[in-house]
């Protein structure tokens, strides 16, 4: 009897914790499936005939494919560059105990992003890089790179040094031992940091709002543009937001195990 | 194959001198064991030979080539690590072949050498397993195999048996000795275990506080230790050290430990002369003490009375912890027919010609 009671309490507690964020999620999806009129009716309708009209409109009226592609390109580039530069950086911070440099990188990450925007805007305008993938990718690096570095440092620190010694004696240069021995052993960490930086870049709004233009607009900014002077296209926003969240959510669902592992594994030796 | 020469080798970590002016020469095909307590600099010395540690000063030659600034991969050495350091993401076959693959050996050559090593070590069935699926002893074999496929000039072993259980350690000891004879290779083997050193080495190099204490064949360092440290380090149970004074009485030399007094053999006299009246340390190995045999008569005046405090029975022999005057010593004797009882007083004969006398100040061996 107490076991049933315990189970009921457990699930009630779990529901109480999960309901608020899930409710927002559900509301967003429902908004996308309703017509404009249904969306502003009061009290809100929960039983209605769903329509996919909004999703069609998002692609036809707002050129949403283009924005998805922009986001994909920028997030992929930012993630790739973060890994290419961040992995060796994290390795050398861990290996040569460059904790101070690590802190410096963290400071760059913790500085409010708004304070970067003005100088960046001026510099990029001067370089004629406003509304280019280059500018957006570079700015996203300030988010993704420290994430890669800080996640990976603990992974590299937990690697036994003898493995590299053995590799060096077996005939590797330091680079070869890094690529052939060290990297394969921290692949969980690499997967985690890649996923995290992709998601953070995908969701980044502020930099893209200021530095993108018609050619490079990313999806979060595109959704923001659904709010115009005259009206707010709630149905369109709902449909577009669902489309933004969907790929990342599906992705995260499949790799959730490795994310949890990656976030905790480097923390403990062995 | 090659000899290895260390000349005035020094390694400092900030203020700490880990290796202090180490000069040794290891001959071609020799099984050399560097032995000493932890922190004596033996592993640092080995890592410098491997090229994994920079050299503060001094020179290292491998087969007449100065290797001071050579990368580990160019030194033609192989190393077996204490924790095996097998690549966890590769199966045994790839672990063994990795060194050859990275050196761009043709695949048939790699396969045949891996097979050969697997045959030697009896690990043919394990080739497709990952390291985590192996037992400690199997991992150890793979680690040794990874070294032998390379056919290097010199093998370096860094405490390879210390993670194994006692029984396996004894078995692997014999196997590594056998392997050495089979390969005819130069081996430099680091251990803190004097038993490993005694049983495996052609020559032992004993280190303490970064400095070389003595070099010699196992029985030399056992029989003629250069100083008190070596005397205490080699042999188990360790040599008993007793503070004493040298006394001359009626033309004979006596070792007076305050509580008991024994006569030094005549062969010692000449070397004792300069130390007359000075404090010394009298050293007796446990195995050089025996229960007095009444049938042998009064003996040569080197029979001391002692009280048995603890008796450890090992079967064929016993360890007896004795109080002898104010001194505690341990003796290793044949198991007597009638078991000793604790608190019993017994007479113990010292084999005086096998005892040692050390200068108390310098710790150097006098006899």
pLDDT digits (tens, 9 = 90+) for B140-156: 999 999 999 999 999 99
> Quick one: pLDDT at residue B299?
59
A134 plus A14 within the same structural domain: no
The answer to whether residue A269 sits within a structural domain is no
CB contact under 8 A, A165 and B87: no
Rg (CA), chain B: 25
A267 has a pLDDT exceeding 70:
no
Determine, yes or no, domain membership for A29: yes
Distances (CA, A) of A142 to A109, A133, A146, B258: 6, 15, 7, 78
For the stretch B228-266, pLDDT in tens is 999 999 998 999 999 999 988 888 899 988 888 898 888
Alpha-carbon distance of A45 to A245, in angstroms, equals 23
pLDDT digits (tens, 9 = 90+) for A143-198: 999 999 998 998 898 888 899 999 999 999 999 999 999 999 888 889 889 988 99
Please report whether residue A270 resides in a domain.
Answer: no
Question: A33 and A124, same structural domain?
Answer: no
Report d(CA B224, CA A189) in Å as an integer. 57
CB nearest A171 (choices: B79, B81, B102): B102
Identify the pLDDT of residue B30: 95
Give me the residue from B50, B82, B86 closest to A169, CB to CB: B50
The pLDDT of residue A252 is 80
Q: Where are the beta strands (DSSP E) in B131-195?
A: 154-158, 186-191
B81–A contact, CB cutoff 8 A: yes
Q: Which two tokens stand for residue A235?
A: 């149905």
pLDDT at position A27 is 87
Domain count, chain A: 2
**Best interface-test mutation with B: which of A164, A171, A188 has the largest number of B CBs within 10 A?**
A171
Query: Quick check: B210 pLDDT over 80?
Result: yes
What is the ipTM, given to two decimal places? 0.86
Dist. CA B263–CA B242, nearest whole Å: 15
What's the pLDDT at B19? Answer: 94
pLDDT at residue A265 above 90?
Answer: no
Kindly report, residue by residue over B25-39, the tens digit of the pLDDT. Answer: 999 999 999 999 998
Q: Is B89 on the interface with A (CB under 8 A)?
A: yes
- The pLDDT assigned to A270 comes to 40
Same domain, A176 and A249: yes
Residue A57 located in a structural domain: no
- The answer to whether residue A181 sits within a structural domain is yes
Mean pLDDT of chain B: 92
Q: How far is B99 from chain A (nearest CA, A)?
A: 4
Specify whether A27 is located in the same domain as A157. no
| Nearest beta carbon to residue A165 from set B85, B89, B150 | B85
Name the residue of chain A whose CA is nearest to B98's CA: A170
Q: Is the pLDDT of residue A121 over 70?
A: yes
Query: pLDDT digit string (tens) for B322-354?
Result: 998 889 999 999 888 888 888 889 889 899 999
Range of the domain at A14: 1-51
CATH number of the domain at A213, please. Answer: 1.10.3720.10
**Pair (A80, A44) in one structural domain:** no
Domain annotation covers residue A56 = no
Return the closest-CA partner of residue B332 out of B208, B239, B195, B233: B239
Distance CA A165, CA B104 (A): 19
Q: Is A170 in contact with B99 (Cβ distance < 8 A)? A: yes
Give mean pLDDT, residues B124-143: 92
- One domain for residues A122 and A176: yes
In terms of domains, do A190 and A135 share one?
yes
Q: Tokens at residue A36, please?
A: 């404009």
Would residue A26 count as lying in a domain?
Answer: yes
Find the residue in A nearest to B158 (Cα). Answer: A162
Q: Say whether residue A185 is in contact with chain B using an 8 A CB cutoff.
A: yes
Q: Give yes or no: residues A47 and A93 share one domain.
A: no
Query: Is the pLDDT assigned to residue A137 strictly greater than 80?
Result: yes
Candidates B98, B139, B140, B149, partner chain A, best to mutate (most A CBs within 10 A): B98
| B70-84: average pLDDT | 93
- Residue A129 in domain: yes
Q: Is the pLDDT of residue B297 over 70?
A: no
Residue A269 has pLDDT above 60, yes or no: no
A182 and A243 assigned to the same domain: yes
Q: Are residues A120 and A195 in the same domain?
A: yes
Q: B11 vs chain A: nearest CA distance in angstroms?
A: 18
- The answer to whether A157 and A186 are in contact (CB under 8 A) is no
Residues 233-252 of B with CB under 8 A from A: none
Same domain for A40 and A160, yes or no, is no
Torsion sign over Cα B82, B83, B86, B91 = positive
Residues A96 and A178 in one domain: yes
Residue with tokens 């995260």: A252
Chain A 156-175, CB below 8 Å of chain B: which residues? 160, 162-163, 165-173
């Amino acid at each position: 009897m107490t076991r049933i009671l315990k189970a009921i309490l457990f699930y009630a507690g779990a529901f109480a914790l999960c309901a608020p964020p899930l409710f927002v999620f559900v509301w967003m999806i429902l908004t996308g499936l309703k017509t404009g009129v249904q969306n502003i009716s009061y009290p809100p309708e929960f039983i209605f005939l769903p329509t996919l009209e909004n999703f069609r409109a998002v692609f036809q009226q707002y050129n949403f494919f283009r924005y998805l592609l922009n986001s994909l390109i920028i997030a992929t580039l930012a993630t790739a560059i973060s890994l290419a530069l961040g992995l060796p950086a994290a390795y050398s911070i861990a290996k040569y105990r460059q904790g101070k440099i690590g802190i410096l990188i963290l400071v760059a990450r913790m500085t409010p992003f708004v304070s970067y925007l003005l100088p960046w805007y001026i510099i990029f305008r001067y370089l004629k890089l406003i509304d280019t993938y280059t500018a957006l990718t570079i700015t996203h690096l300030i988010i993704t790179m420290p994430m890669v570095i800080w996640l990976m440092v603990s992974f590299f620190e937990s690697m036994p040094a003898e493995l590299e010694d053995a590799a060096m004696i077996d005939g590797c240069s330091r680079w070869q031992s890094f690529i052939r021995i060290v990297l394969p052993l921290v692949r969980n960490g690499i997967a985690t940091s890649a996923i995290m930086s992709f998601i953070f870049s995908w969701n980044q709004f502020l930099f893209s709002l200021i530095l993108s233009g018609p050619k490079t607009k990313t999806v979060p900014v595109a959704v923001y543009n659904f709010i115009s002077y005259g009206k707010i296209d709630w149905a369109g926003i709902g449909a577009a937001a669902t489309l933004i969240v969907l790929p990342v959510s599906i992705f995260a669902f499949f790799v959730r195990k490795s994310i949890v592992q990656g976030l905790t594994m480097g923390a403990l030796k062995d | 194959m090659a000899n290895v020469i260390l000349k005035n080798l020094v390694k400092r970590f900030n203020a700490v001198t880990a290796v202090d002016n180490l000069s040794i020469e290891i001959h071609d095909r020799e099984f050399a064991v560097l032995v000493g307590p932890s922190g004596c600099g033996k592993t640092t010395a080995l890592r410098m030979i491997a090229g994994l540690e920079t050299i503060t000063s001094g020179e290292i030659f491998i087969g007449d080539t100065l290797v001071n600034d050579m990368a580990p991969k160019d030194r033609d050495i192989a190393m077996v690590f204490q924790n095996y350091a097998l690549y966890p993401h590769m199966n045994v076959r790839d672990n063994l072949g990795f060194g050859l693959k990275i050196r761009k050996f043709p695949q048939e050559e790699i396969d045949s050498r891996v097979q050969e090593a697997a045959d030697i070590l009896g690990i043919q069935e394990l080739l497709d397993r990952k390291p985590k699926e192996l037992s400690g002893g199997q991992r150890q074999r793979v680690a040794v195999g990874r070294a032998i496929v390379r056919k290097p000039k010199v093998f370096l072993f860094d405490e390879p048996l210390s993670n194994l259980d006692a029984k396996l350690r004894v078995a692997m000891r014999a196997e590594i000795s056998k392997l050495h004879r089979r390969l005819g290779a130069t081996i430099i083997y680091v251990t803190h275990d004097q038993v490993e050193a005694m049983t495996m080495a052609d020559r032992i190099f004993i280190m303490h506080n970064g400095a070389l204490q003595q070099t010699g064949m196992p029985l030399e360092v056992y029989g003629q230790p250069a100083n008190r440290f070596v005397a205490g380090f080699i042999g188990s149970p360790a040599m008993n050290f007793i503070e004493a004074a040298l006394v001359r009485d009626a033309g004979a030399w006596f070792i007076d430990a305050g509580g008991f007094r024994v006569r030094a053999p005549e062969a010692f006299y000449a070397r004792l002369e300069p130390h007359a009246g000075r404090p010394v340390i009298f050293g007796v190995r446990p195995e050089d003490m025996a229960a007095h045999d009444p049938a042998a008569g009064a003996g040569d005046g080197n029979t001391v009375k002692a009280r048995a405090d603890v008796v450890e029975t090992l079967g064929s022999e016993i360890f007896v912890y004795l109080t002898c005057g104010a001194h505690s010593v341990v003796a290793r004797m044949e198991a007597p027919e009638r078991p000793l009882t604790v608190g019993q007083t017994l007479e113990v004969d010292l084999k005086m010609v096998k005892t040692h006398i050390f200068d108390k100040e310098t710790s150097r061996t006098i006899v």
